Amino acid sequence: MVQKFKHVFLDAEGTLYVPKDGRSRWEFWADPSPDKAVEFFELDTGVKESLERLRSQVITLCLVSRNPPEIIDALLDKFGIRQYFDEILLNGNKGKQIAKYLYRRGYRRDESVMVGDMPVLDLYPVKRVGIESILVDRDYNGFAKVERIRGVSELPNWLRIADIAEGAGNHRPYIASLDDFETADTIAARAARLSSRSTQRLIAAQVT
């Protein structure tokens, strides 16, 4: 199968881990510390299992965050997920950081995707340097008219759909809705239909 995205970059806060019990993140950032972080945050549903799948599904898996190193270190150790990442990129413009990472390793930007929850910090900067992005759907980012998944738990299947679309010759693989993460048989049937109707929308609504 054709592999559309070989290099995946994941935001941390709001993407991999979230505040417990629906608390506001600003409650934490009013007085942040590593000790408070491990009490305040928890992994989002299905994240660890999805990282396992992604590790065998893509070539590169990196964490990209603007959180301070001591906060990131405390949470990665608490959740036991540090080993899944090839590199941890901290601070600065995420688009420039990822572009530099790819350039140094001879990787292609059009084979890379950034996943995050904050459009201004996670999506728009990488779009400006020619890297695709997808938004983790949260109640505070509904204003952004971009591609969405409900969480990192849906990312492995979303990547498979992009692979199938690429193999079918569809030039707009970024058209998956939140409700279209289907079984392998259903996905294969959909891809077969798409191969004969390459101008049809892939899954739901065309990204503008």
User: Given phi > 0 = left and psi -120 to 50 = alpha, else beta, which region is 22?
Assistant: left
CA distances from 53 to 49, 115, 167 (A): 7, 16, 21
CA 202 to chain centre: 19
The owner of tokens 């019990």 is 21
- The pLDDT tens digits for 128-150 are 999 999 999 999 999 998 889 99
CA distances from 77 to 80, 81, 84, 114, 182 (A): 5, 7, 12, 23, 33
Confidence of residue 200 (pLDDT cuts 50, 70, 90): very low
pLDDT at 166: 86
- The pLDDT tens digits for 33-46 are 999 999 999 999 99
The enclosing H or E element of 71 equals: helix 69-79
Show me where the domains of the chain are located: 7-195
- The pLDDT tens digits for 150-192 are 999 999 999 999 999 888 765 444 434 444 434 444 444 444 4
- The pLDDT tens digits for 62-87 are 999 999 999 999 999 999 999 999 99
The architecture in CATH of the region 7-195 reads: 3-Layer(aba) Sandwich (3.40)
Q: 0.75 exceeded by the pTM?
A: yes
The owner of tokens 């799948």 is 53
